[in-house]
Structure 1
Amino acid sequence: MTKLSACIEMLFKAESSDPAQRIHLAQAEGFEAVEFWLWSNKDLDAIERALDQTGVKLAGIVAEPFAKLTNPKTHDDFLRGLEESRDVALRLGAPVLICQSGNNRLLVDRQRQRDALTLVLQRSADVLAGSGVRLGLEPLNDRVDHPLYFLTSTSEALDIMDAVDRPEIGITYDLYHSMVMGEDPVTVIGNRGRHIVHLHIADHPGRHQPGSGQLDLLTPLTALIAGGYIGYIGLEFRPTADTKTALVETRAALAPLMAP
């Protein structure tokens, strides 16, 4: 059965200002997992209690600090932070850490930036080795949400994964960002689905719930699952109304995937 994860940075935000309480709200809506972004601005004791009380799993968190990984000068700081993030993930039971490339350094050759990104991911694999925690580099769109972002191509991200070639490292694949960039997810992933450590979805325009916009999310999700993806599908969208109503629309849009 398809496993959904509620991103509590976006879902249940209007219902509660307390991230720990949002875990309880997610559990009441039938979620078996949640995820969030930064851990350093959360009360981790309260988060841990909420996870224990509800039995909800933590699907993933962000690897801190956010760094411009195309710049080698940021690497040592990122790797020190990755050690802390790994330990937080282990404490809370999160199997995935999410990172981003940072923006394009416009005066620096693109291949040099890509080489720097590949190197820091190889070094990150050594930090995570044996922990069971994986790092997912996330391509983002630069057309709507992240102007000047370096890694907008899923194909390029997968090529980087081929070069890194470590089981600890993969991509966080967000169908919203991919499709906003004009990619066909089935084609762009091809036979490299093994590199996907986590999925995100939202509709377009507006980055709202599935069913609210124009994207066919069902076809690529079906293909990715048929191709062997067994992780969580993170609902990382802005509800157009209250979260409960948005989830009704989401589940209707994803109904063929929700059957046991």
Structure 2
Amino acid sequence: MNTRTRREWLAHSGVTLASIGLSGFVTALAEDSTHQGEAQGEQKKARRRRFRAALSCSAIGVQADQIQTLEYAVKYGFEAIEPQPEFLARLSDAELGKLREKMQLHHVGWSAAGVPVDFRGSIERFTATLRGLPKYCEVLQRAGVDRLGTYLSPTSRDKTYLENFRLHAKRLRAIADIVACYGMRLGLEYVGPKKSWSAGRYPFIHTLQEMKELIAEIDHPCVGFTLDSWHWYTAGETREDILSLRGNQVIVVHLNDAPAGVPVDEQVDSVRDLPCATGVIDLKNFLSALVEIGFDGPAYIEPFKRELRQLPPEDAVRVTAEAMRKTLALIE
């Protein structure tokens, strides 16, 4: 196991995040201080997205190994791909080197991996799955992956909000301590639909503000947000809620749209649509806020759309790529 301490990780990430914050923007400079306001306006217009349009085959129901996923990304213009830890673990150094070389050649980076730890269940299950996390992170670190993401269940049958809050803070902090040793960051996603958080006896975190409180309680520099346009919409949030974050607090983003003609409180989490399909979710405001705060990570489409999953694999990727291009056109 990599033995970098939490203190060392903090020192390293401070330099890294500072350098990220200074790069990637197109800057408009004022030649005369009397034109400062005009220059600021030009600077705002000149901002460009820094986040990467990613392909997650699992999110669109396509079965493809890491090599095929990369082929799809190259063919259809994606800028990042979902890592597959089990596949990556089987690659020799030479095979992995060849894969990464091809990714670099085509300017394709990594998206975020999942979290293989059951932090929602029993202490026995949590402890057992946590033991496997260092090896999992070693595989990802070897491949150059630096982001993980997971979601929180928005309700509980047997734990009050406070009990659940304390349990999540403790367990997610333990996960973060391991993740940080490998130079990675962890994104946490809230689930917004009323039909989801009201389904159990005790509602739990289902808004950005509540997630802020949990992350503050975890108090670990590698922990941030997974933002999903669907949950942002169903939680009744606005552009200003996103602007309350710093770009480096957002780890990964999910994009989608909502069915038309369904009141927001009646939306069902598993019934979504491709982004820009209906216009119900205000993706222009969602994405422009991410651009404004300087989010620089992967953003992938997660539509939970049955018809998409029924298409032949390459057709599903093509349709997803078309939806991504339409979505990015909102801000470019």
* TM-score clears 0.5: yes
Worse overlay, 194-203 or 95-104: 95-104
Matched with 1:123 is 174
Listed as ranges, the gaps of 5+ residues in structure 1 are none
Q: Tell me, what secondary structure is at the counterpart of 1:88?
A: helix
Asked if the contact 1:171/1:196 (under 8 Å) is kept, the reply is yes
Worse overlay, 120-129 or 155-164: 120-129
Structure 1 residue 234 corresponds to structure 2 residue 300: yes
Write out aligned runs for 1:93-242 (5 A).
93-102=144-153, 104-143=155-194, 148=200, 150-179=204-233, 181-193=234-246, 194-205=248-259, 206-213=271-278, 214-237=280-303, 238=305, 240=308, 242=315
Asked if the contact 1:8/1:23 (under 8 Å) is kept, the reply is no
The one-letter code of the counterpart of 2:137 is R
CA distance in 2, matches of 1:145, 1:212: 23
Structure 1 residue 68 corresponds to structure 2 residue 120: yes
**1:207-251 CA distances to partner (integer Å, 9 max, x unpaired)?**
332111221111121112202322222222347463323422331
Pair 1:132–1:235, CA change in 2 (3 A): same
Pair 1:17–1:256, CA change in 2 (3 A): closer
Matched with 1:9 is 58
**1:76-128 CA distances to partner (integer Å, 9 max, x unpaired)?**
23432332332122022111111233463322221011011111122223212
**1:29-75 CA distances to partner (integer Å, 9 max, x unpaired)?**
12221115x634x4644694544434332211101034416x55544
Worse overlay, 184-193 or 213-222: 184-193
Give the share of equivalent positions with the same residue, in percent: 21
1:159 positional shift: 0.9
CA distance in 1, matches of 2:326, 2:120: 39
Q: Tell me, what secondary structure is at the counterpart of 1:208?
A: coil
Q: Which one of the candidate residues 46, 69, 72 is aligned to 1:25?
A: 72
CA distance in 2, matches of 1:249, 1:104: 32
CA distance in 2, matches of 1:66, 1:79: 8
1:22 positional shift: 2.1
**1:8-37 CA distances to partner (integer Å, 9 max, x unpaired)?**
213482xx644431221111112221115x
Pair 1:245–1:109, CA change in 2 (3 A): closer
Worse overlay, 210-219 or 119-128: 119-128
Worse overlay, 125-134 or 182-191: 182-191
CA distance in 1, matches of 2:193, 2:120: 16
CA distance in 2, matches of 1:144, 1:247: 30
TM-score, structure 1 normalization: 0.82
CA distance in 2, matches of 1:112, 1:236: 31
Matched with 2:82 is 35
Asked if the contact 1:99/1:137 (under 8 Å) is kept, the reply is yes
State the Cα RMSD in Å: 2.9
Asked if the contact 1:97/1:133 (under 8 Å) is kept, the reply is yes
Q: Tell me, what secondary structure is at the counterpart of 2:58?
A: coil
Worse overlay, 144-153 or 50-59: 144-153
Task: Report how many residues are paired.
Answer: 252
Worse overlay, 144-153 or 115-124: 144-153
CA distance in 1, matches of 2:155, 2:123: 13
Asked if the contact 1:170/1:197 (under 8 Å) is kept, the reply is yes
Q: Tell me, what secondary structure is at the counterpart of 1:172?
A: strand
Structure 1 residue 92 corresponds to structure 2 residue 158: no
Listed as ranges, the gaps of 5+ residues in structure 2 are 1-47, 260-270
Matched with 1:257 is 331
The one-letter code of the counterpart of 1:175 is S
